A and B are shown apart, each in its own frame.
Chain A
Amino acid sequence: MDFNACTRLEAAWEVLRQITDPEIPVITLDELGIVRDLRETAGGLEVVLTPTYSGCPATEAIQDDVRNALAAFGDVEITLQRAPAWTTDWISEEGRRKLKEYGIAPPGAVAEQTIRLVHPKAMAGLACPRCGSESTEKLSAFGSTACKAIYRCLACREPFEYFKPL
């Protein structure tokens, strides 16, 4: 590919913005809030990412996806920036809308959550992503991935996942 300096970076951003999360394929990495920066280097590009969970098995798959998608731009160097730590507050509005549409209740604001030593089973105000009822109960603190919990709607009876605030 042949680009001049300015449009080359823009074109790379264009590609980078399309890459989706390997475990929740409706949301892009950018909407998930893990893309920190994209810079040009002598041989290609440097992408700065913030990992989500310490033990998230998708971290390596994400790096591979980014490398493959941007391969046309030369060498792709990936820098993991751990501080400040990723927070679900960085998930964009568009990302939250897509999560909800996909059946995953988006995370509330981190500041509003108090993680108590011993907490009640139900979390007040968590709306079912399907029918919108706030009458829901927790089934399990951990779902198919560490970042999600499993809830059940008491109105429509459907189970759903909840992206936990972190």
Chain B
Amino acid sequence: MSMSPDVQYLLRIGDSCLILAQRMSEWCGHAPILEEDIAMSNLALDLIGQARGVLTRAGELEGAGRDEDQLAFLREERHYFNPVLMELPRGDFAFTQLRNAGVAIWLSLLWQRLAESKDAEVAAIAGKAVKEVAYHRQHACDWVVRLGDGTEESAARVKAALQTLWPYFNELFESDAVDEAASAQGLGPAWSELQADWQTQFSALLHAAHLPQPAASAYRSGGRRGVHSEHMGPLLAQLQYLQRAYPGGVW
């Protein structure tokens, strides 16, 4: 499909927030303790709020009259551009917290840079999000340390989560022509520029949690180009159900 690079760049970010929020919302009513149930619902709400802002801006730049709802609920799978990492099933509690920690560190670095975007609207969204994500990062990192440094069972769970997740983090730092164009325009950074800082912070977290640093791994990129895993379809079926069944339905 032909889509201008700035729109696709923003959809990658907005979709990352949206799809992770959908996964987080699945914990509502299922978390191991009430406090965590509430925390994860709150995290999902923040992510949805951030997604709303970015998708709205993407729709404005696209100029085809699509608003946040049409972009969130009425696209086909191939037109979502989040990295595959976000759509992986929520797994167990350790998997959820480790993914959240990796994503929050990444988003924190990304929002910091986007706060200086030449697009004033993107800069405003990022200026707010960067403060919210600091609490997300702290919360997830606390849990990773607690699990890694906890019981044999919790340490085994978070180690297994790290093994599964590790290759998927790579896609957060890819760069392609879309990134290059966004970077050249001053819209936002090429994602590869965030890798060194992410690695430093993530390694510090693994160290604090007594988790071994995994070796570099091979991976296959896809989500950023709209090529998703088998998990994306069922996720979208649930996300889009209401708007597909009752088109144009509003609160």
Contacts and interface: CB of A to CB of B under 8 A. Distances in A.
Interface of A: 51, 53-57, 82-87, 115-119, 139-146, 150, 164, 166
- Chain B facing A: main interface SS: helix
A127 B35 CA distance: 21
A140 B39 contact: yes
Contacts, number: 91
A116 B50 CA distance: 22
Interface in B141-155: 141-142, 145
B224 interface: no
Contacts of A118: 141-142, 145, 205, 208
B226 interface: no
A113 B65 CA distance: 42
A116 B127 contact: no
A57 B45 contact: yes
Interface of A is mostly: loop
B204 interface: yes
B35 A85 contact: no
B132 to A, nearest CB: 6
B39 A83 contact: no
Contacts of B38: 140, 142-144
Contact of B50 (A54, A86, A140, A144): A54
Given A117-B138, A142-B42, A54 B49 contact: yes
A57 B47 CA distance: 12
B127 A83 contact: yes
A55 B138 contact: no
A82 B42 contact: no
